[in-house]
Amino acid sequence: MKYSTYLLTIVAGVLLALGGFFLFSANHNSGNGETASIIGGGDNVKAYVLPISQPTLVPILDDSALKPEINSKAVLFYDLRSGKYLFEKNIKEKLPVASLTKVLSAIVALENLDQDDVVTIPKEAVRVDNERQDLYLGENISVRNLIRVMIVESSNDAAYALADYAQKKGIDFIQKINEKSLSIGMFDSSFTDPAGLDDDAFSTAEDMIKLVAYSLQYDVMWEFSREKEILVKSEDGRIAHTVKNTNQLLGVIPDIVGGKTGYTDQALGCLILIVDLPGYDSKIISVVLGSDDRFGDTQKVIEWIKVAYHWQ
């Protein structure tokens, strides 16, 4: 009996020692105070590391600040870091979003096409809106430059040229757009063309915020959107396009990360704007839909936010 007790004591001691060793190893390997944990079971056990908790600043509203009157059909201003809605109006209303669709088209192009590929402009991508011609039949232009023209000048021709080139490579561009929107969580959206010309397509201010938040991983797109004027040439250098930005808030509002405009007669004015918050590691993402004054409405709300909120 004494021998059994002695044996059990030894076994318990060994198990405790092993447990302490593995706990030390996990904490040591995680480094910088991070804690290693194990998830799963059987052959599928995986290790993951929980990061050190960081203090999160939260925007606090001063109720005494008078809200601006906004006549746009739908509006949403969003603090990226805290995930808080700072100003909202009809954020779930399904509305046409016009050329804001091109943010989604740019993402699909960046994820499925080589930026260095050269596209020969087909007749299906020339003057597609029957109003403005941005490209010339037969000219050769890179995918990268087509994305630039589409984002900076909101070129409908460029959007259709990208879609046509994708189709020739066996990629259904519109299907990809809708698949991508669903994968982002845009469950109240449907798109029918790459430029946003069809007002039967729709989204919501809330869904568009999800799109912009996802798109921030593509810095190049938003770098393009900050260019006031660019010169884009065909691959042989024979054709040059002077491309001017449609965003009137560039140089007016400080710390702009990027933006995208949109307009049709039915959708009215639409605008995405992304603004850095100096001194606070975050961004404000704004979406304005169905507006008679998209630039004025956006500027009024951003100025109000800077007065009405403080972060603590």
Residue 288 near residue 298, CB atoms below 8 Å: yes
Task: State yes or no: is 282 an active-site residue.
Answer: no
What integer best gives the mean pLDDT of the chain?
Answer: 85
Helix (H) or strand (E) run with residue 180 in it: helix 173-184
Task: State yes or no: is 102 an active-site residue.
Answer: yes
Residue 64 pLDDT: 83
Binding site membership: which residues?
260
pTM of the model: 0.81
Active-site annotation holder among 30, 72, 154, 282: 154
Residue 208 near residue 100, CB atoms below 8 Å: yes
pLDDT band for 54, please (50, 70, 90 cuts): very low
Interval 177-201 mean pLDDT: 98
Active-site annotation holder among 102, 176, 180, 283: 102
Amino acid identity at 145: N
Query: What count of Cα atoms within 13 Å lies in the side-chain half-sphere of residue 133?
Result: 9
Helix (H) or strand (E) run with residue 84 in it: strand 84-89
Query: What count of Cα atoms within 13 Å lies in the side-chain half-sphere of residue 283?
Result: 16
Active-site annotation holder among 30, 99, 142, 181: 99
Asked if the model's pLDDT at residue 39 lies above 80, the reply is no
Angle at 73 between CA 269 and CA 204, to 5 degrees: 90
Task: State yes or no: is 53 an active-site residue.
Answer: no
Q: What is the pLDDT of residues 81-111, one digit of tens each?
A: 999 999 999 999 999 999 999 999 999 999 9
Tokens of 306: 């800077």
Asked if the model's pLDDT at residue 36 lies above 50, the reply is no
Name the CATH superfamily housing domain 59-311: DD-peptidase/beta-lactamase superfamily (3.40.710.10)
Phi first, then psi: what are they for 291, rounded to 5°? -115, 145
Task: Scan for tokens 């702009």, then name that residue.
Answer: 256
Q: What does the domain layout of the chain look like in residue ranges?
A: 2-50, 59-311
Residue 106 pLDDT: 98
Residue 77 near residue 310, CB atoms below 8 Å: no
Residue 56 pLDDT: 66
Binding site membership for substrate: which residues?
260
pLDDT band for 49, please (50, 70, 90 cuts): very low
Residue 7 pLDDT: 41
Asked if the model's pLDDT at residue 214 lies above 80, the reply is yes
- As to burial, measured by CB atoms within 10 angstroms (0-12 exposed, 13-18 middle, 19+ buried), residue 75 is buried
